[in-house]
């Protein structure tokens, strides 16, 4: 699946395809290594580089449905960074793995539900064969910029 098809599928699913997120520190949005692309952790920007769609800790400051939507937003930025890495000639073969970090209170244990926001987006946009992936969902004390969720990815590609 090439970048143009991914963009079209995002829009067909009713989402706006976001611009590639601008790194806020010393890293790049993605890095290719052989047939894999590693996408840096993406946060749920409302406006890239300016404001996040939500900030705070789940569930004391950010409710679970908002955190799920934030994870979905992270997934959109993953697809944007991946399309940027694919360029004109690359093709996505498989979304291999997502890792979701959820800023949560110590007693919160529903991290997988939050991570489902990104996971479901991948299957919705990319289909079962390409979008289904392995995943980890991890609770943390805090995340950059105070966001409630950050998601990173590994994808298998060809033609780069």
Are 97 and 153 contacting, i.e. CB atoms less than 8 angstroms apart? yes
Residues 60-75 have a mean pLDDT of 98
**Residue among 75, 65, 91 nearest 15 (CA):** 75
**What's this model's pTM, rounded to 2 decimal places?**
0.96
Task: Give dist(CA 74, CA 88) in Å, integer.
Answer: 23
Count Cα neighbours of 36 within 13 Å in the Cβ-side half-sphere: 8
Asked whether residue 159 carries a pLDDT value surpassing 90, the answer given is no
Asked whether residue 150 carries a pLDDT value surpassing 70, the answer given is yes
Asked whether residue 11 carries a pLDDT value surpassing 70, the answer given is yes
More confident: 47 or 27: 27
Q: Which helix (H) or strand (E) holds 10?
A: helix 3-12
Task: Give dist(CA 156, CA 71) in Å, integer.
Answer: 21
Are 129 and 39 contacting, i.e. CB atoms less than 8 angstroms apart? no
Residues 94-113 have a mean pLDDT of 98
């Amino acid at each position: 699946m090439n970048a143009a098809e991914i963009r079209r599928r995002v829009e067909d699913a009713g989402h706006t395809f976001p611009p590639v997120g601008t790194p806020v520190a010393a890293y790049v949005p993605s890095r290719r290594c052989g047939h894999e692309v590693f996408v840096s952790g993406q946060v749920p920007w409302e406006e890239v580089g300016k404001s996040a769609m939500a900030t705070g800790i789940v569930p004391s400051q950010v409710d679970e449905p908002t955190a799920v939507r934030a994870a979905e937003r992270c997934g959109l930025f993953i697809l944007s960074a991946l399309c940027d890495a694919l360029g004109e000639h690359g093709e996505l073969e498989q979304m291999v793995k997502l890792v979701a970090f959820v800023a949560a209170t110590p007693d919160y244990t529903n991290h997988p539900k939050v991570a489902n926001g990104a996971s479901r987006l991948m299957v919705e946009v990319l289909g079962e064969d390409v979008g289904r992936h392995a995943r980890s969902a991890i609770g943390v004390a805090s995340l950059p910029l105070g966001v409630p969720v950050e998601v990173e990815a590994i994808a298998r590609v060809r033609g780069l």
